[in-house]
Structure 1
Amino acid sequence: MYISTVEELSAFCERARAFEAVAVDTEFLREKTYHPRLCLVQVATPDECVAIDPLAVKDIAPLAELFDDPAVTKVFHACTQDMEVLLQALGTVPAPIFDTQVAAAFLSERQQISYNGLVHAFCGVTLPKSESLTDWARRPLTDKQLEYALDDVRYLIQAYHLMVGRLNAEGRLPWVLDEIRPLAMRSHYEIDKREAYKKVKRVNSCTRRQLGIARELAAWREARAERHDIPRKWVISDEVLIALVKRAPRDEASFRAIRGTEQLSEADVTSALMAVERGMT
């Protein structure tokens, strides 16, 4: 079922509250933006599967209310990116949650099992990959695209019930819930710009003094990328950032001497130089 109106969404969310768990997945794009753009939300109950179109539905508050309902467990597979995009789009982090990728490891499956691997292992189904490169922002979506998207929750809700049954039988469910609980905390997905440098490639090659510059430059890059809603690599790449860190330019001429900075405005260079200076103190 494809949901494109507030009325349809409200009616579905009311029906979904009758169940102790619903399966959730999202489709989003982030290649050209800083924040991921939510394009589709798939939700399944044991009775039905729906694809909710946030680009068409004018008010998705009923979905936020369902995801906030403490009586309904929201089931994800490898939830981190889904939770991040839902926080951005809905202003809330779904809770309580169950992550089947985490749970599978407690049932002797391989670490970080893929969704297709999970469905094959627990439901005996092999899923197609034909729509894996779909542009989910384009409308209208075809029936084939919607079926592909709904498969991501249709079998997830089945796998969840099978997994919980096995975990209960083996006395391992409390261990899994303890492992998952922190993933439902808002703080897990809020970005501390001053910690962004830790994810920069090759930052571990920096000296202690250079790490201070890396911290300030990476924070500057995050702020600029967020302000313009563009990918951080469009501001400067990790490679360029590390080159700036190691050369520590003190003026615009030295800064511009590094290839990959030409797209920055004079004001950008000035603020980046200020970040370098902060990092050196």
Structure 2
Amino acid sequence: MTTVIESALGAADAALFLQSPADVSRAAKAWRKAPVIGIDTEFVRERTYRADLGLVQLSDGHTVWLVDPLVDENLTQVKALLEDHSVIKLLHSPSEDLEVFRNDMDVIPRPMVDTQAACALLGQPLQLAYHAAAKWLLDVEVAKDQTRSNWLRRPLSRGQLRYAALDVCLLPEMWRRLKHNLEQRGRLDWLHEDCERQLRVAADGVPDDQAWARIRGVTRLDGSGLAVIRRLAAWRENEARMRNLPRGFVLPDAVLLQVALGRITSEARLKEVDGLHRRMLERYGSSVVAMVSEVIASGETIPEIRPLDSSAKQALNKLRESIKKQASILDIDPALLASRRELESALRDSPETWPDKFDGWRGRYVTEPLKEWAA
């Protein structure tokens, strides 16, 4: 084990738990001087729409700071760091962290590096966990024993604090090695492109009228049914956000799908839907049938998600085989270039609606073959 890694692990053991705004302000002076800062968050999200932030961890590789966000003033300095373009923020698989930053501090960190995405560009699995990345890059075992902790309870235990510190202390050294390997392979720009796309998605969020696309089984619906579930899913998203409840606590996906499939326009029929609890029916029943009736009366439809025809299926198989060969040459997971679902959607749609990820470094491997088929 190198001295750098030993120093980082030592910093985790000596992590500074910052609860007062004065302590956070003093620590922030060191954060702002570092060229890179590893960042992670711990939160609780079991019975709420928004994650409840319980801890913010930061490390420059020499010191670990654990900031208590339950003191509102403490987040002011964290936000300033996230907005500081002179400091590169290192996060591993940051989608949920980015959502927390946007909701709690109204900020998206720039510049940002996703170390999980960096690992994928070097041939590792797309969803490589932090502990697995630490083992692969640094040969360090990182504990996973506090993943179900209550991060809102005070005081936090010594075990919780050490776990939180270990989740961030190795990021600077991991990034140093990842960056070197990416530069050697000419893929550093690829990473920056993918990270910037992540930030754009995080900043924009998913529009309420697109929430229906996340519901499993929507391919069973015709155009009218899709219009119904789009309306219901958008309404549920807004209701869950306003009441700060998980989407399923408002109405489960399966209920929305059954209502859309059955074009249910009466509370009597709504009572027969599996999974619709009495309290849900009492609170939302009249609103649901009113929305369904309104959509049906309007004649609104959405283009159906039709199965690929035989010609498109042949094209899909050829594209997947081509991408598999290219991925083998690049030594990366084929899904990093394009997933089966993305390819199927692209074959159904016009090039103007293809994912913007196809416009960048993936273009020569994905977009050019796709355009040949579309022509």
The TM tier, using the shorter chain, reads over 0.9
Gaps of 5+ in 1: none
Gaps of 5+ in 2: 1-15, 299-375
Per-residue CA shift, 1:241-265, capped at 9, x if unaligned? 1111111222222222324142126
Higher helix share: 2
Is 2:24 the counterpart of 1:44?
no
Aligned partner of 2:22: which letter?
A: E
In the other structure, the counterpart of 1:77 is: 92
Report which stretch shifted further, 46-55 or 185-194.
Answer: 185-194
Is 2:196 the counterpart of 1:181?
yes
Is 2:293 the counterpart of 1:277?
yes
Change (3 A) 1:278 1:191: farther
In the other structure, the counterpart of 1:31 is: 46
Taking only the aligned residue pairs, the percentage that are identical comes to 27
In the other structure, the counterpart of 1:262 is: 278
Q: CA deviation at 1:64?
A: 0.4
| Alignment counterpart, residue 202 of structure 1, candidates 214, 217, 225 | 217
Report which stretch shifted further, 267-276 or 176-185.
Answer: 267-276
Secondary structure at the aligned position of 1:54 is classed as: coil
Q: CA deviation at 1:192?
A: 1.0
TM-score with structure 1 length normalisation? Answer: 0.95
In the other structure, the counterpart of 1:7 is: 22
Structure showing greater relative contact order (alpha-carbon pairs closer than 8 Å, 6 or more residues apart): 1
Q: Please tell me whether the aligned partners of residues 38 and 86 of structure 1 are also in contact (alpha carbons under 8 angstroms).
A: no
Per-residue CA shift, 1:19-46, capped at 9, x if unaligned? 1110111111111101111111111113
| Alignment map for 1:90-129 (pairs within 5 Å) | 90-129=105-144
| Alignment counterpart, residue 131 of structure 1, candidates 146, 156, 159 | 146
Q: CA RMSD in A?
A: 1.6
Q: CA deviation at 1:152?
A: 0.7
Q: What is the aligned length?
A: 281
Report which stretch shifted further, 204-213 or 66-75.
Answer: 204-213
Paired with 2:255 and 2:283, the residues of 1 have a C-alpha distance of 18
| Higher CA-based Rg | 2
Paired with 1:15 and 1:234, the residues of 2 have a C-alpha distance of 43
Per-residue CA shift, 1:141-186, capped at 9, x if unaligned? 0111100011011111210111112222332211211121111226
